[in-house]
């Protein structure tokens, strides 16, 4: 059975909802899913999964949320060869560096040797219908990449 691990950081609930949408679609595609808040896991926990996903928000002017910084730093020192990764997140287009944390995590994952499973999805605040469709397409693409 293929296992996906989703690690998320959420302040307002928007990013947790994004993680839930991805998790639900992965389950619909027959994938086992473990979703955990970022302070409850270590980057090493991705070693148990086939699919590694981070859902994060961006704080202020492009900063990582405080609660996910340790996880982010650990991730860069983790080897995830043979794993497939994806990054999704929320931000506010009011800020110059919209969803910068999504970009930061994508770069961190590339250092691990993992394969990018799908283009990252960036959501402005809460997920609307169009965002939900993008998140579901993201989940499908990640699964296709793992099965290829």
Residue 100: the pLDDT is 98
pLDDT band at 85 (very low <50, low <70, confident <90, very high): very high
Q: Is 66 helix (H, G, I), strand (E, B) or coil?
A: helix
Give domain status of residue 148, yes or no.
no
Flag whether 146 is in a domain.
no
Q: Give the mean model confidence (pLDDT) for residues 92-102.
A: 95
Q: 70 in a domain, yes or no? A: yes
Query: pLDDT at position 135, please?
Result: 98
Q: Is residue 68 part of a domain?
A: yes
Number of folded domains that form the chain: 1
Asked whether residue 145 is assigned to any structural domain, the reply reads no
Q: Is 96 left (phi over 0), alpha (psi -120 to 50) or beta?
A: alpha
Q: Tell me whether residue 21 is in a domain.
A: yes
Tens digits of per-residue pLDDT, 98-145? 999 999 999 999 999 999 999 999 999 999 999 999 999 999 999 999
CATH code of the domain containing 33: 3.40.50.360
**In this structure, are residues 88 and 18 in contact, taking their beta carbons and an 8 Å threshold?**
yes
pTM of the model: 0.97
Whole domain around residue 44: which residue ranges? 3-140
Per residue in 14-61, pLDDT (tens digit) is: 999 999 999 999 999 999 999 999 999 999 999 999 999 999 999 988
Identify the pLDDT of residue 60: 87
Beta strand pairing call for 115-116 and 84-91: parallel
| 147 found inside a domain | no
Sequence-distant (≥ 6) Cβ neighbours of residue 6 within 8 angstroms: 19, 22, 23, 33, 34, 35, 36, 53, 54, 55
Let me know if residue 39 belongs to a domain.
yes
* Mean pLDDT for all residues in the chain: 97
């Amino acid at each position: 059975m293929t296992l996906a691990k989703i690690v998320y950081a959420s302040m307002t609930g928007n990013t947790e909802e994004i993680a839930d949408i991805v998790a639900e679609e992965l389950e619909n595609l027959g994938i086992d899913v473990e979703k955990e808040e970022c302070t409850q896991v270590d980057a090493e926990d991705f070693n148990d999964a086939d699919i590694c996903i981070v859902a994060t928000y961006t704080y202020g002017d492009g900063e990582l949320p405080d609660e996910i910084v340790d996880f982010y730093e650990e991730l860069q020192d983790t080897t995830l060869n043979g794993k497939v990764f994806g990054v999704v997140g929320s931000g506010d287009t009011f800020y110059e560096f919209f969803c910068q944390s999504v970009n930061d995590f994508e770069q961190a994952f590339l250092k691990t040797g993992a394969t990018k499973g799908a283009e990252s999805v960036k959501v402005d605040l809460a997920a609307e219908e169009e965002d939900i469709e993008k998140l579901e397409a993201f989940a499908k693409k990640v699964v296709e990449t793992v099965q290829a």
